Amino acid sequence: MKKLNIGLQLFTLRDETAADFRGTLRKVAALGYEGVEFAGYGDIPAEEMKALLDELGLKGFSSHVSLHAMREDLQKQIDYLKTIDAQYMICPYLMPEDRPDNAEGWTKLFEELQQYGAEAAKQGLIFGYHNHDFEFHGQVGDANAFDAMFAQTTPEAVQVEMDVCWVQFAGQNPIEYINKYAGRLPLLHLKDFSKDEQGQMKTLELGQGEVDLPAVIESATNAGVQWLIVEQDVCQNPPLESVENSHNWLKQNYLNQF
Q: Is 217 exposed, middle or buried (0-12, 13-18, 19+ CB in 10 A)?
A: buried
pLDDT digits 0-9 by tens, 217-235:
999 999 999 999 999 999 9
In this prediction, residue 101 carries a pLDDT of 93
Characterize 50-59 residue by residue with b for buried, 16 or more Cβ atoms within 10 angstroms of its Cβ, and e for exposed.
Answer: bebbeebebb
pLDDT digits 0-9 by tens, 65-119:
999 999 999 999 999 999 999 999 999 999 999 999 999 999 999 999 999 999 9
Domain that holds residue 61: 5-257
In this prediction, residue 1 carries a pLDDT of 79
How many residues are present in the chain? 258
Angstrom distance (rounded) from CA 252 to CA 254: 6
In this prediction, residue 66 carries a pLDDT of 98
Angstrom distance (rounded) from CA 126 to CA 3: 21
pLDDT tens per residue across all 258 residues of the chain: 799 999 999 999 999 999 999 999 999 999 999 999 999 999 999 999 999 999 999 999 999 999 999 999 999 999 999 999 999 999 999 999 999 999 999 999 999 999 999 999 999 999 999 999 999 999 999 999 999 999 999 999 999 999 999 999 999 999 999 999 999 999 999 999 999 999 999 999 999 999 999 999 999 999 999 999 999 999 999 999 999 999 999 999 999 999
| Radius of gyration for the chain, computed over Cα atoms and rounded to the nearest angstrom | 17
Angstrom distance (rounded) from CA 111 to CA 251: 41
**Of 184, 195, 191, 143, the residue nearest 167 (C-alpha):** 191
Q: Do residues 190 and 228 lie in contact, with contact meaning Cβ atoms separated by under 8 Å?
A: yes
How many independent structural domains does the chain possess?
1
In this structure, what DSSP letter does residue 56 have? H
CATH of the domain at 102: 3.20.20.150
Angstrom distance (rounded) from CA 166 to CA 121: 27
Characterize 10-30 residue by residue with b for buried, 16 or more Cβ atoms within 10 angstroms of its Cβ, and e for exposed.
Answer: bbbbeebbeeebeebbebbbe
- Report CA dihedral (242, 244, 249, 254) to the nearest 10 degrees: 140
- Report CA dihedral (122, 123, 125, 128) to the nearest 10 degrees: -50
Q: Give residue 247's identity as a one-letter amino acid code.
A: H
CB atoms within 10 A of CB 162: 28
